Structure 1
Amino acid sequence: MTENPFFAASPLVYELPPYAEIREEHYLPAYERGTAEQLAEIAAITDDGTAPTFENTVVALERSGELLRRVDAVFRNQSSSDTTELLDEVEAKVSPLLATHHDAIHLDQKLFARIEALHGNRAALGLDPESLRLLERWYTAFVRSGARLGESEQARLRELNAELAALGTTFQQNVNAATRAAALVVDSAEELAGLSEGAIAAAAENARVLGHEGRYVLSLKSTSTQPELAQLADRSVRERLLAASLARGVEDNGPLAIRMAALRAERAALLGHPSHAAYVVADETAGTVEAVSGLLARLVEPAVANARREAAELAKVAAADGIEEIAAHDWAYYSEKVRQASYQVDAAALRPYFELERVLKDGVFFAAGLAYGLSFTERPELTAHHPDARVFEVFEQDGTPLGLFIGDFHARASKRGGAWMDELVGQSGLTGRRPVVLNNLNVPRPAPGEPALLSWDEVRTMFHEFGHALHGLFSDVRYPLFAGTAVPRDFVEFPSQVNEMWMVRPEVLANYARHHETGEPLPAELVERMTAAEGFGQGFRTVEYLAATLLDWAWHTLPEGHRVADAEEFEARALAEAGVVVPAIPPRYRTPYFQHIFSSGYSAGYYAYIWSEVLDADTVRWFETNGRSVRDSGELFRRELLARGFSRDPLESFRAVVGRAPDTAPLLERRGLA
């Protein structure tokens, strides 16, 4: 194939991918040529007859792989946000191809010899701090990838990496298919009693799109607990909905999880670590398995006690309906009743104040202007990856162009569950590129002519994901390896969690939370009650999160050679041993649909959310108490942390902002665990 839009840099503004020209058949040839080109570039480095220098080896390595970078950034998002059968087939071929390609570079002995020689003499090279860090990070990456292993060990490592890549793709595709197949179909609107008129209309529209004309469909979100459980009055419908959610992928993905955990344990042992968790954490800010285990262990007992207190309150309310024992499908429903009775908060009544367009422009964008001086201009003439996706150009306070932001907010059958940020073009001082970043959400599509109204949690998700987008947009580093969100997993969630604070800042909330029909602002006392009511739900939220985290930890602290016979039995035993079994609170993700750890790069890393929340809660307190203006605080946070990426130790960046080491007290207070 000679005519392929990936074969040359995009001519569009900010090198936005030329989506109008990209077709599905372009991806695989671009991957094939891209990997071949990068290997040729690596060969040019290793065949250089002169002595290795930082420029001819490390910088040359940073510059390599441009075509592969272009196609991979576009394909990763496309296959997640708007997949097709053909793209699934391409992904199944590409995953092992990329694993093999990674090994071809990181196990290249001639290339490693040049890097090792430079690393051994690094003190005499006279490098600036970012360049020195680049050399050290590449050296670490090669060692962690097996560059020091013997020939037979490297051969086995290549086999493990290729199989794990293929299994991870199959796992994700199984989850996508199982989630689509498990959507709850009901025959009448009466069965959906309790949902708002807009939500029922959206379920009817969803049914029409999915080929169930005249019926109603509740498509599943990625998590175990589905948001509709809080409103559905029919207990049997709630039970069916949760059962469908919890049963996803058991037969297909249970065996895959067992196999992947075993292969990861074998690989870790090959690389000199007692477990996959030990291998992963060694290169994170946590540093050791003991550090992570210690934090999680300190949280379990108070979180479970908090959840049991909440359960007792729910049971009192449920007893009035003749329910003797709260089940998992009852928890959200009676939590909502408690909020209404004790805090006078009706979550459904909040939706009319959270119209998507207003939340985006008058909330998320407004907060970015308040803290960082940014402004946004929609560019409808620019084509994105899907008709739903919208392109915005981002400007500094003085009008200087910064980059592009793409928002793809609505759910569809071709999009995987959850919400995430992708980077289509990464910032680089080396190449002069400015960032193009993208947020994907899964807000249900409203009926034609109706506004998209968000839940409280969906508003939070929008602010959260835009925090990742800001991390990418503000990147100001020389080398691509350090750009944007390319930081440790247990640090990457920190900036996005900090950005959630703007959701309820009075000056931001007053600007976006207005009734979509009347324009009336959301009453301040309602916000206060909602915030207080959130404190009531912290037991549930912490336990469901810890259960998922400790499940991840159980799978990935297994030593080499440990055999698991049945995934469901292993899961039940692991949760019991961790002390997080509250019968009415399922893990946020069960093993068969836990994409974070089996297909999305968070294996032995789901603890990152709570680890990052320590930094987040501490930083939010700093924003509130440091005595600076919002704008000055935002500028410091941007300059010393968001802009620095991984160009220095992330905890050093944290200390540069807050002025000290992290404090866990704000987190414990926020979670009701103090």
Structure 2
Amino acid sequence: MILNRTILTLGLATALLQMPVSVSAQGSGTSRTNPLLQKSSLPFGAPDFSRIQESDYLPAIEAAIKMQRANIQKIVDNKKKPTFANTILAFEESGVVLDRISNVFFGLTGAHKTPLIADTENKVMPLLIDLENEISFNQQLFTRIKYVYDNEFKKLKGEDQRLTEEIYKSFVRSGALLSAEDMNRMKQINSRISELQQQWGNILPAATNNAVVWVNSKEELAGLSDADIAQCKKDAESRGSKAPYCVVIINTTQQPILASLQNRELRRRVYMASIHRADATNPEFNTFPIVTEIAKLRAEKAKIMGYNTYADYSLENTMAKNTKNVDAFLHQLIKEYAPKADAETKSIEEYAQKTEGKNFKLQPYDRFYYSAKMKKEMLNISDDEVKPYFNVDSVQINGVFYAANRVYGLTFKQRKDIPTYHPDMKVFEVIDRNGKSIALFYSDFFRRPTKRGGAWMSAFAKQSRQRGQLPIIYNVCNNAKAPEGQPSLITWDEVCTMFHEFGHALHGILSNCQYNTLSGTAVARDFVEMPSQFNESFASIPEVFDHFARHTDTGKPMPADLKERMLKSINFQTAYALGENLASTCLDLAWHKISADEVPSPYMAGAFEKEQLNNVGLLNVQIPPRYSTTYFNHVWGGGYAAGYYSYLWTEVLAVNIADYFEKHGALDPAVGQAFRDKILSRGNTKDQMQMFTDFTGMPSPDASGLLKARGL
């Protein structure tokens, strides 16, 4: 997942980059230079967390906003004829200081949201949305941009032309061509949506933390490994020790721990805590009012912009283009998937009835448990058997980094001299095959109460030749950290997540673009997940797998027999994973294919969810949505509104590209270089469908291999 905290603001005059600004240190009564308002002296301009104080962010962002306002005014006041240089490029570089500071700040709001960072975010977001509205609806600025687009666009070439097009269209899509009355309403809508998303960002992590399930005895945790029980004890201690143990709820509906818990009542409690975390079962935590208001505002926004629904508005700038194409894509998948899902559920229930009796009715909290037992019996494999071979450090160094070295010629040198915002973080200098340093990469893999759920990639700084900036990229995960002195072991799913997020990281690390706006992962939403999903394919390539899957104690590779059984098990009963994704995808679209008048009340939102799933044939108690409405962060807190389908869409692209690699040499540096040159380095400098064609030779994606790749 990409952490997408996009605001329209794009740059600032480079001359201001090194301007020191003195501010009073909060609560100290002294004056000091705010380190965020100086260019860092660290390699790559990395954020100097050894000097930055949490109290620095608010005054730094306020100062950077003033800088950008001043630079926008310079563009507007320019009496010369608008040109690419004095208008488009000037706008692109008008907020570089704000970019630099906000990139660092929003890294913390996701991964290390302390009370002061949360309070600062509450104060910062209204300032940023006001600035966004101010710029989006600045008619004097837009008049100059439109003049360049109308008169100079065809003369421009390459990235200059692409940047002009992107900036012009972003203003149009924000409402720059609207009447004054409609513009005013759009400002109000944008501001209110921002407020609501801020509320969402505060309530959902709190609800998820509150949903922990307290456990009074070790006996109730029967089925868990000693390491998992130790983690439950550690989690309880870090959350106030209301009981000796607790089970932490992760961001998805189903909880992986249910595959091991023998106690059915505890399984039920964990599942219920997950699905009811934010639906007012506990009156303190109810996101339905936020969801319904955002849905109404988005629908109104689309109508003002001349679209029937928000989905129509949102999809215009994607590879899919419109709801008709997305619906057709999903309908075909649902049609082929449904009978396989029913057969899978029936087989699990029949298996459970062998030991529990013929009257046993499988419940959603039973599915993972009996599926795991079934897999163990049929394939003689379990997570506990393979986890000792998946030490998180080995997966990163000997797996993720090794594959990147074999395919792209990259090496990674740990930099212990570069400070981080948390001791768990590691920093690596990325060195190209020619010996040249090209990026910094940070990894932050372990969960903690200040970190939101899930896994993602983002950047402290995006690559830009114009700014002389090399990329500073980071990955965040939520793996359990072992007690001090013990190795942290992860599941195969978590291995795949590490490869996935590093695919996003490579998209940022290998970027080679002139402009910040076009670089790295700044591509269509239904293309951005392709490099990450494709990168997952390297995890199971024999040479890569054998290099990282080594026993944490002995260092020996996974035995051939165990490896064969484990790889066979990857596609065991995979209908569930596809079904939960389809259900969430259809929920997302359902909320965004209706008018404002059709949005249900908060009291009826739960019924709306069930009705919409039933309408597409996905109301299945055994296979609930991966994310239900009340905790669907991608849609209500992130940038995936009407876009969650992109995970499946880009999986098709990834399968096609993986097939190409397999045919031409999965670890062949020449193939890797071609992929790097034609896709990973190009950012948004070219139409993404054309990039896909340039690399694969295929005129369009072929979806026929998706179900096969998933073992269906």
The answer to whether the superposition gives a TM-score over 0.5 is yes
Residue 392 of structure 1 corresponds to which residue in structure 2? 428
**Gaps spanning 5+ residues in structure 2: where?**
1-21, 24-32, 281-285
The 3-state SS of whatever aligns with 2:505 is helix
Answer yes or no: is the 8 Å Cα contact 1:472–1:484 preserved in 2.
Answer: yes
Residue 282 of structure 1 corresponds to which residue in structure 2? 316
The 3-state SS of whatever aligns with 2:287 is helix
Residue 536 of structure 2 corresponds to which residue in structure 1? 500
Residue 52 of structure 1 corresponds to which residue in structure 2? 82
Q: Give the AA of the match of 1:659.
A: G
Answer yes or no: is the 8 Å Cα contact 2:295–2:599 preserved in 1.
Answer: no
Q: Give the AA of the match of 1:29.
A: P
Matched, 1:669 2:703: no
Matched, 1:590 2:625: no
Alpha-carbon deviations, 1:555-606, whole Å to 9, x = none? 1111132230222111111111121112111110011111110011111111
Q: Residues 629 and 369 (structure 1 numbering): CA distance in 2 closer, same or farther, change over 3 Å?
A: closer
**1:508-527 pair list within 5 angstroms:** 508-527=544-563
Alpha-carbon deviations, 1:117-172, whole Å to 9, x = none? 111123553x2221111111111101000000011111110000000011011112
Answer yes or no: is the 8 Å Cα contact 2:407–2:667 preserved in 1.
Answer: no
Query: Which of 179, 185, 190 is the equivalent residue of 1:161?
Result: 190
Question: How far apart, CA to CA, are the structure 1 residues paired with 2:200 and 2:617?
Answer: 28
Identity %: 38
Residue 149 of structure 1 corresponds to which residue in structure 2? 178
Q: CA deviation at 1:668?
A: 2.8
Answer yes or no: is the 8 Å Cα contact 1:426–1:436 preserved in 2.
Answer: yes
Residue 614 of structure 1 corresponds to which residue in structure 2? 652
Question: How far apart, CA to CA, are the structure 2 residues paired with 1:670 and 1:44?
Answer: 54
Q: Give the AA of the match of 2:338.
A: V
Q: Give the AA of the match of 1:321.
A: E
Q: CA deviation at 1:523?
A: 2.6
**1:334-349 pair list within 5 angstroms:** 334-349=370-385
Answer yes or no: is the 8 Å Cα contact 2:213–2:273 preserved in 1.
Answer: yes
Question: How far apart, CA to CA, are the structure 1 residues paired with 2:218 and 2:598?
Answer: 50
Q: CA deviation at 1:217?
A: 1.6
Aligned length: 672
**Gaps spanning 5+ residues in structure 1: where?**
none
Q: Give the AA of the match of 1:297.
A: H
The 3-state SS of whatever aligns with 2:570 is helix
Q: CA deviation at 1:536?
A: 2.9
Q: CA deviation at 1:16?
A: 0.4
Question: How far apart, CA to CA, are the structure 2 residues paired with 1:526 and 1:309?
Answer: 27
Residue 321 of structure 1 corresponds to which residue in structure 2? 356
Which range is displaced more, 398-407 or 515-524? 515-524
Question: How far apart, CA to CA, are the structure 2 residues paired with 1:527 and 1:274?
Answer: 52
Query: Which of 664, 672, 675 is the equivalent residue of 1:637?
Result: 675
The 3-state SS of whatever aligns with 1:421 is strand
Residue 418 of structure 1 corresponds to which residue in structure 2? 454
Answer yes or no: is the 8 Å Cα contact 2:153–2:164 preserved in 1.
Answer: no
Matched, 1:268 2:306: no
Residue 473 of structure 2 corresponds to which residue in structure 1? 437
Matched, 1:184 2:219: no
Residue 331 of structure 1 corresponds to which residue in structure 2? 367
**1:184-583 pair list within 5 angstroms:** 184-212=213-241, 215-251=244-280, 252-319=286-353, 320-322=355-357, 324-565=360-601, 566-583=604-621
Q: CA deviation at 1:399?
A: 1.2
Alpha-carbon deviations, 1:467-505, whole Å to 9, x = none? 111110000000111110111111111000011011111
Which range is displaced more, 257-266 or 441-450? 441-450
Q: CA deviation at 1:10?
A: 1.4
The 3-state SS of whatever aligns with 1:535 is coil
Answer yes or no: is the 8 Å Cα contact 1:96–1:163 preserved in 2.
Answer: no
Residue 599 of structure 1 corresponds to which residue in structure 2? 637
Q: Give the AA of the match of 1:260.
A: I
Question: How far apart, CA to CA, are the structure 2 residues paired with 1:124 and 1:262?
Answer: 39
The 3-state SS of whatever aligns with 2:356 is coil
Residue 94 of structure 1 corresponds to which residue in structure 2? 124
Q: CA deviation at 1:258?
A: 0.6
Question: How far apart, CA to CA, are the structure 1 residues paired with 2:120 and 2:337?
Answer: 44
Answer yes or no: is the 8 Å Cα contact 1:205–1:446 preserved in 2.
Answer: no
Q: Give the AA of the match of 1:73.
A: N
Residue 142 of structure 2 corresponds to which residue in structure 1? 112
Q: CA deviation at 1:629?
A: 5.7
Question: How far apart, CA to CA, are the structure 2 residues paired with 1:5 and 1:488?
Answer: 34
Q: Give the AA of the match of 1:266.
A: E
Query: Which of 154, 159, 162 is the equivalent residue of 1:133?
Result: 162
Question: How far apart, CA to CA, are the structure 1 residues paired with 2:369 and 2:676?
Answer: 40
Q: CA deviation at 1:653?
A: 1.1
Q: Give the AA of the match of 2:421.
A: H
Residue 99 of structure 2 corresponds to which residue in structure 1? 69
Alpha-carbon deviations, 1:289-338, whole Å to 9, x = none? 11111111111122221111111110121102236211100111111112
The 3-state SS of whatever aligns with 2:529 is helix
Q: CA deviation at 1:381?
A: 1.3
Question: How far apart, CA to CA, are the structure 1 residues paired with 2:138 and 2:319?
Answer: 28
Question: How far apart, CA to CA, are the structure 2 residues paired with 1:92 and 1:551?
Answer: 29
Q: Give the AA of the match of 2:669.
A: R
Q: Give the AA of the match of 1:501.
A: S
Q: CA deviation at 1:545?
A: 0.6
Query: Which of 655, 661, 665 is the equivalent residue of 1:623?
Result: 661
Answer yes or no: is the 8 Å Cα contact 1:266–1:561 preserved in 2.
Answer: no
Question: How far apart, CA to CA, are the structure 2 residues paired with 1:397 and 1:77?
Answer: 29
The 3-state SS of whatever aligns with 1:495 is helix
Question: How far apart, CA to CA, are the structure 2 residues paired with 1:472 and 1:628?
Answer: 21
Residue 18 of structure 2 corresponds to which residue in structure 1? none
Answer yes or no: is the 8 Å Cα contact 1:106–1:142 preserved in 2.
Answer: yes
Answer yes or no: is the 8 Å Cα contact 1:486–1:646 preserved in 2.
Answer: yes
- For normalisation by structure 2, the TM-score amounts to 0.93
Q: CA deviation at 1:5?
A: 1.3
Q: CA deviation at 1:213?
A: 7.5
- For normalisation by structure 1, the TM-score amounts to 0.98
